[in-house]
């Protein structure tokens, strides 16, 4: 649920149907770069099932907001509280020397879990990467690498996804698949915050428009 | 931990150059020293063991820049800091694998290096022991500098300026140990100090590296 | 009761971190240290140069000591101070800590370089060479490189917030390492030069010789305090230039002066 911008298209009744612990809550959060405020204070509450579409002009701080929520950016005022999350930045987080499968294994290892190999292969198959499962990522195309990164979110146990321009480099078919996956994830009690220039084609979503801070010329 | 190590090892094996090139540098610089100082061929002259540790330090410096570079560029570093169950362990695994490819590898090459440097074969084992004890400190201390400069496009000079002063104790005790071995004296005292350097570095350096990586990741 | 003490301590801590509070309270300190430095340095210098007796071995050349020793002492202390500031900056994210590091760096580099230079000038008549690889010299040289490393790192990072954190981390790492480096260099020194002639630790320096040294050392410390504090104040003004209190500070002087008189 969203308190601040008026441009919301959210059905509050359905959120109550889910578990009522918020996955993420921010209060008067403002991110800064070099002591410059990037956007107007933000009050967000993200419940299970929410799908937030984060819009805003270039330089309005979409990426910085996601990085802040992921704990990668420490210059901010206000507060936020969040559960464990999956973050997808501009850099995919795939080791290009390793195959998609090995990357997934590394990621599971990072979280101190063993890789469920059959599950991983099933996901890669759905993403159309079964043939490339053992090919080092540096030999995959940009779109294929993107899809390999998607497998990482799907494998992760965390239910909150922070995605920064996930549609980049994807062809029309893959974009459609990603929209489907996002809808499924939210329907299954997960939540998504997605910074994008494309309009999300999901069943229900909330739009958050980041307002660039007045006086900021960024 | 096992999965993490496995990933690092596999990745290292797929970029053999990052390990082999510094080793080539080490051998080549020994060649250069031998040419610049023709006295090595002279039976009476001192051997080249005094340049041994200096060269190891420089070789280590060369390979340090690559320690986190690939992870930084690919975004794996971000993922490590966000999702790792214990980032400390992941960082330690990275440092350990760097040591395998630098310190341990050089240790294994001691017989070859020793022949080039005019050392007698019975000295090889003690010198290998000295390297085994001393080189972890280099990878550990070096990881702090590598982590701090990974966000710079050209961080080499700053890395050297930051790290070489910290390497000084390792150089002093390492060199003293090798010198003692070569001259046939007891080398326990400097070796114990060297071990102390490594263990202090082991307890403190990963934390500093962790803090440094968090700073570098914010540089984007 | 103890709760009240800790809460008032917390308040004090918070106050210490406030640039404005710092700016206001140090106003008089800067003057005090400036005047003391001027007095002590003048007295110490004249005393050391003109009145202290000549050394029976070195003649008059030992008088370089009155610059060399205080410069080396303060150079080291400043690095230690930076380490403390680094710790405070890292743990409590205090803005003032980075201001302190930034203000300390140039003076620390300058004094350490001065110590090396004066040592070299002193070494010429005493040791017969401009440069000896003496333990103390090596330690001071390493200290200079530690300073330069932080300086170079600060220059390389554009974002002020990250620059502050990186500099704080490196000062802290350097400070932790200084004892180890110093010890290892001393160890190396005894190994290679067992009969090194120690200049500053002569067992029996007469009071006429060490008293001016003490005055000079105090003078150097006061000068350093004056220099660092005034530079910190400038930096605070620069960083807080857009805040209200700074603007009021510079809008007000005309009014406040007229009421004072």
CA distance C194 to chain B (A): 15
State CA A155 to chain mean position distance. 14
Which residue in B has a C-alpha nearest to residue A96's C-alpha?
A: B74
Residue in C with minimal Cα distance to B193: C184
ipTM score assigned to the predicted complex: 0.88
Q: Which residues of A touch B79 (CB under 8 A)?
A: 87, 93, 107, 110
Report the distance separating Cα A52 and Cα B31, nearest Å. 63
| Whole-number pLDDT of residue C168 | 95
pLDDT of amino acid B219: 85
* List of chain C residues whose C-beta atoms are within 8 Å of the C-beta of residue A35: 160-161
- Residue C231: partners with Cβ closer than 8 Å, 6 or more residues away: C102, C103, C106, C107
Antiparallel, parallel or unpaired: β A24-33 and A36-37: antiparallel
With an 8 Å Cβ cutoff, are A35 and C159 in contact?
A: no
Asked if C149's CB is within 8 angstroms of B211's CB, the reply is no
Q: Which residues of B touch C173 (CB under 8 A)?
A: 144, 166, 208
Residue segments in chain C with a per-residue pLDDT below the cut of 50:
1, 194-198, 258-261
Q: Which residue of A has its CA nearest to C163?
A: A34
**How many residue pairs from chains A and B have C-beta atoms closer than 8 A?**
89
Whether the CB of B200 is below 8 Å from some CB of chain C: the reply is yes
Give me A62's structure tokens.
């979409």
Sign of CA dihedral B152, B154, B156, B162: negative
- Cα nearest neighbour of C239 on chain A: A35
At residue B48, what are phi and psi to the nearest 5 degrees?
A: -90, 15
CB-count burial class (<10 Å; 0-12, 13-18, 19+) for A118: exposed
pLDDT at residue A11 in the model: 39
**pLDDT, position B138:** 95
Chains B, C: CB contacts under 8 A, how many? Answer: 75
Taking each helix axis from N to C end, the angle separating C207-239 and C19-46, rounded to the nearest 10 degrees, works out to 150
Determine whether the interchain pair B74/A96 forms a contact, defined as Cβ–Cβ distance below 8 Å: yes
Identify all chain B residues contacting C186, using CB atoms and an 8 Å cutoff: none
Query: What gap in Å lies between CA C221 and CA B170, rounded to an integer?
Result: 33
- B31, containing H or E segment: helix B16-36
Cα dist from A7 to A48, A53, A191, A208, A209, whole Å: 20, 11, 19, 7, 8
For tokens 């206000």, what's the residue? A78
Mean pLDDT by 10 residues, chain B (220 residues): 78 82 89 76 58 89 90 90 84 92 92 83 91 95 95 86 93 90 87 94 93 90
Distance CA B208, CA B166 (A): 13
- Flag whether residue C167 sits within 8 Å of chain B, measured between CB atoms: no
Q: What are the residues facing A82 on neighbouring strands?
A: A24
Residue B192 in contact with partner chain C when CB distance is under 8 A: no
Q: Distance between CA atoms of C183 and C135, rounded to whole angstroms?
A: 10
Residues of B with Cβ-Cβ distance to A73 under 8 angstroms:
218
CA distance C88 to B42: 57
In this predicted structure, what is the pLDDT of residue B95? 93
Within 8 A of C184 by CB-CB distance, chain B residues are 168-169, 172-173, 193
Helix/strand/coil (H/E/C) assignment for every residue in B127-174: HHHHHHHHHHHHHHHHHHHHHHHCCCCCCHHHHHHHHHHHHHHHHHHH
pLDDT at position C25, please? 86
What b/e readout covers A41-68, taking b as 16+ CB neighbours within 10 angstroms? ebebebbbbbbbbbbbeebbbbbbbbbb
Token pair of B50 as six digits = 């005094």
Per-residue pLDDT of chain A (218 residues; tens, 9 = 90+): 334 433 333 333 344 444 578 899 998 999 988 778 888 889 989 999 889 999 888 888 899 999 999 999 988 999 999 888 999 988 998 988 899 999 999 888 888 888 888 999 999 999 999 999 899 999 999 999 999 999 999 998 899 999 999 998 889 999 999 999 999 999 988 999 999 888 888 878 888 888 877 654 44
Whether C142 and B165 lie within 8 Å, measured CB to CB = yes
What is the model's pLDDT at position C192?
Answer: 62
Which pairs from C191-197 meet CB under 8 Å and 24+ separation?
C191/B176, C192/C133, C193/C133, C193/C134, C193/C135, C196/C134, C196/C135, C197/C126, C197/C127
Alpha helices (H) in A59-204, listed in sequence order: 62-69, 100-110, 117-126, 142-155, 172-187
Nearest-neighbour CA in chain A from B207: distance (Å):
17
> Neighbouring chains of C at 3+ CB pairs within 8 Å?
A, B
- Residue A33 at interface with chain C, using a CB cutoff of 8 Å: yes
- Tell me the CA distances in angstroms from B55 to B62, B143, B194, one per residue in order: 11, 18, 17
Q: What is the structure's pLDDT at B197? A: 93
Q: Which residues of A touch B70 (CB under 8 A)?
A: 95-97
Asked if residues A159 and A48 have their Cβ atoms less than 8 Å apart, the reply is yes
Burial of B179 (C-beta count, 10 Å sphere; 0-12/13-18/19+): middle
Contacts of A75 in chain C (CB under 8 A): 161
Which chain C residue is nearest to residue B166, measuring alpha carbons? C177
Instruction: Please name the residues between 113 and 152 in chain C that touch chain B, using a CB distance below 8 Å.
Output: 142, 145-146, 148-149, 152
CB contact under 8 A, B78 and A105: no
C-alpha A85/C-alpha A152 separation (Å) is 12
């Amino acid at each position: 649920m969203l308190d601040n911008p008026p441009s919301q298209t959210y059905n509050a009744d359905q959120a109550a149907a889910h578990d009522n612990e918020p996955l993420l809550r921010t209060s008067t959060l403002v991110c800064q770069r070099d002591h410059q405020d990037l956007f107007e204070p933000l009050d967000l509450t993200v419940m299970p099932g929410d799908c937030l579409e984060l819009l805003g002009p270039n330089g309005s701080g979409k990426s910085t907001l996601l990085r802040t929520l992921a704990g990668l950016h420490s210059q901010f005022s206000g507060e936020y509280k969040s559960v464990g999350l999956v973050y997808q930045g501009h850099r995919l987080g795939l080791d290009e020397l390793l195959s998609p499968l090995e990357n997934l294994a590394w990621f599971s290892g990072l979280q101190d879990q063993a890789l469920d190999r059959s599950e991983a292969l099933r996901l890669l198959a759905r993403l159309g990467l079964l043939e490339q499962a053992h090919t080092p990522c540096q030999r995959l195309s940009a779109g294929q690498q993107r899809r390999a990164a998607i497998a990482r979110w799907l494998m992760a146990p965390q239910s909150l996804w922070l995605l920064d321009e996930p549609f980049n480099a994807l062809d029309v078919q893959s974009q459609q698949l990603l929209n489907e996956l996002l809808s499924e994830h939210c329907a299954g009690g997960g939540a998504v915050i997605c910074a994008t220039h494309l309009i999300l084609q999901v069943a229900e979503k909330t739009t958050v428009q980041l307002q660039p801070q007045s006086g900021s010329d960024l | 931990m096992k999965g993490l190590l496995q990933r690092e090892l596999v990745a290292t094996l797929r970029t053999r150059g990052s390990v082999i090139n510094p080793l080539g540098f080490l051998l080549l610089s020994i060649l250069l020293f031998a040419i610049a100082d023709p006295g090595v061929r002279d039976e009476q002259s001192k051997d080249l063991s005094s340049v041994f540790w200096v060269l190891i330090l420089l070789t280590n410096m060369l390979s340090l820049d690559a320690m986190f570079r690939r992870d930084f560029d690919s975004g794996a570093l971000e993922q490590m800091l966000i999702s790792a169950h214990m980032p400390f362990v992941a960082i330690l695994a990275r440092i350990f694998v760097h040591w395998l490819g630098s310190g341990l590898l050089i240790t294994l090459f001691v017989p070859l290096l020793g022949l080039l440097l005019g050392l007698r074969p019975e000295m090889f084992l003690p010198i290998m022991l000295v390297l085994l004890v001393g080189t972890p400190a280099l990878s550990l201390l070096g990881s702090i500098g590598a982590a701090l400069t990974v966000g710079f496009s050209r961080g080499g000079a700053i890395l050297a300026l930051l790290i070489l002063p910290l390497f000084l104790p390792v150089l002093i005790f390492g060199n003293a140990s090798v010198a003692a071995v070569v001259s046939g004296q007891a080398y326990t005292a400097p070796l114990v100090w060297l071990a102390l350097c490594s263990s202090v570095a082991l307890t403190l350096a990963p934390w500093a590296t962790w803090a440094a990586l968090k700073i570098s990741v914010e540089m984007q | 009761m103890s709760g009240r003490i800790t809460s008032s301590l917390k308040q004090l801590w918070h106050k210490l971190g406030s640039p404005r509070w710092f700016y206001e309270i140090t106003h008089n300190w800067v003057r005090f240290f400036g005047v003391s430095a001027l007095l002590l340095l003048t007295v110490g210098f004249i005393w050391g140069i003109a009145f202290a007796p000549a050394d029976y071995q070195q003649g008059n050349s030992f008088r370089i000591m009155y610059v060399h020793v205080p410069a080396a002492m303060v150079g080291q202390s400043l690095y230690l101070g930076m380490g403390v500031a680094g710790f405070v900056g890292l743990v409590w994210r205090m803005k003032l800590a980075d201001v302190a590091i930034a203000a300390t760096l140039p003076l620390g580099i300058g004094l350490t370089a001065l110590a090396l230079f004066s040592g070299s000038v002193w070494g010429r008549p005493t040791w017969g060479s401009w440069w000896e690889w003496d333990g103390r010299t090596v330690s001071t040289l390493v200290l200079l490189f530690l300073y330069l490393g932080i300086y170079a790192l600060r220059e390389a990072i554009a974002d002020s917030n990250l620059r502050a954190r990186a500099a704080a981390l490196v000062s802290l790492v350097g400070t932790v390492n200084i004892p180890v480096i110093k010890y290892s260099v001393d160890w190396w020194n005894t190994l290679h030069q067992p009969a090194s002639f120690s200049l500053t630790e002569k067992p029996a320096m007469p009071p006429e010789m060490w008293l001016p040294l003490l005055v000079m050392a105090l003078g150097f410390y006061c000068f350093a305090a004056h220099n660092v504090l005034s530079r910190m104040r400038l930096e605070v003004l620069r960083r807080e230039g857009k805040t209200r209190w700074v603007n009021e500070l510079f809008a007000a002087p005309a009014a406040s002066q007229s009421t004072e008189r």
